[in-house]
């Protein structure tokens, strides 16, 4: 499978067309942004780590019956995925309070919830990805009622599978962001990526942060945290 023209360049990935109309190639960059694009930088080796980890997790999820866009890993940074039209929602699932949840509701980080939560943001850079509920998503025609129900069900399933998996690696899955896409026939599949860029990972014993929060919060040890997660997954 060969790249043809570049279709899109995002903050962390480029997307290329292929000879096959229903397949695209994503190429992961080391570029990182945070704080609504205000903070920019690079995290050496991140592209390859996110590519490999995301592909591994997508395949794990497929085995558990979650449909994903994953097709084939080409090399360290590049992967063939099914072409989708992205549902313009950031779907965030949380098991433990952190980040914007802790800030918005004035609670400490680290409170373990009795049940996981789900929330949506409207993917819109000009509006800064505002928080919305499913009625708003329907009103804005971002997705149908059936699609929203499917997305919620899939997101909680992803959480169950990944929470259990990461615990076996000594990692707490605090929260994460998912994106979903529609195939040409309308099927909803899990798209985008699952990586230390899009998940909060805390060491199960020490609560040490092993994710992009180290970059967002200028904590240092950013590359080491990504490498540590890579080692926990791949040994
Ligand atoms: N997240 C993401 N992209 C975003 C916003 C959040 O991947 O644009 C992820 C983030 O890494 C975390 C989860 O979603 O794992 C919840 O993030 P939160 O809402 O707490 O926002 P933040 O504190 O990162 O602004």
d(CA 124, CA 62): 29
Q: How many CB atoms lie within 10 A of CB 111?
A: 12
d(CA 156, CA 44): 32
Percent of the chain with pLDDT over 70: 100
pLDDT of residue 196: 98
pLDDT of residue 122: 98
CA 166 to centroid of ligand 1, rounded, Å: 18
Q: Say if strands 13-17 and 78-82 run parallel, antiparallel, or are unpaired.
A: unpaired
pLDDT of residue 70: 98
pLDDT of residue 82: 98
Ligand 1 nearest atom to the CA of residue 177, by list position: 14
Binding-site residues, ligand 1, Cβ < 6 A: 90, 92, 98-101, 175-177, 198-200, 212
* Pocket perturbation via mutation, ligand 1, pick of 92, 103, 190 by most ligand atoms within 8 A of CB: 92
Q: Do residues 62 and 38 lie in contact, with contact meaning Cβ atoms separated by under 8 Å?
A: no
pLDDT in tens, 186-226: 999 999 999 999 999 999 999 999 999 999 999 999 999 99
- The arithmetic mean of pLDDT across residues 107-134, rounded, is 98
Ligand 1 nearest atom to the CA of residue 176, by list position: 15
d(CA 36, CA 34): 6
- The arithmetic mean of pLDDT across residues 30-34, rounded, is 97
Angle at CA of residue 39, ends 37 and 41, nearest 5° = 110
- The arithmetic mean of pLDDT across residues 165-174, rounded, is 98
pTM of the model: 0.97
Give the single-character DSSP code of 68: B
């Amino acid at each position: 499978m060969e790249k043809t023209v570049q279709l899109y360049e995002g903050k962390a990935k480029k997307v290329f067309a292929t000879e096959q109309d229903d397949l695209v190639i994503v190429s992961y960059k080391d570029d990182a942004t945070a704080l609504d694009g205000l903070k920019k930088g690079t995290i050496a080796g991140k592209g390859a780590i996110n590519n490999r980890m995301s592909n591994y997790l997508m395949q794990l999820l497929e085995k558990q019956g979650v449909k994903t866009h994953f097709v084939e890993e080409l090399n360290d940074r590049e992967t063939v995925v099914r072409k989708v039209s992205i549902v313009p929602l950031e779907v965030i699932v949380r098991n433990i309070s952190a980040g914007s949840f802790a800030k918005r509701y004035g609670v400490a980080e680290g409170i373990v919830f009795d049940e996981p939560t789900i929330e949506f943001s409207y993917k819109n850079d000009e509006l800064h990805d505002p928080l919305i509920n499913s009625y708003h998503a329907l009103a804005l025609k971002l997705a149908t009622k059936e699609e929203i129900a499917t997305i919620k069900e899939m997101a909680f399933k992803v959480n169950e599978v990944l929470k259990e998996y990461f615990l076996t690696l000594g990692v707490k899955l605090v929260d994460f962001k998912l994106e979903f896409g529609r195939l040409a026939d309308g099927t909803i599949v899990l798209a985008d990526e699952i990586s230390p860029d899009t998940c909060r990972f805390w060491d199960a014993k020490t609560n040490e942060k092993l994710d992009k929060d180290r970059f967002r919060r200028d904590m240092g040890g950013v590359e080491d945290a990504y490498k540590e997660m890579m080692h926990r997954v791949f040994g």
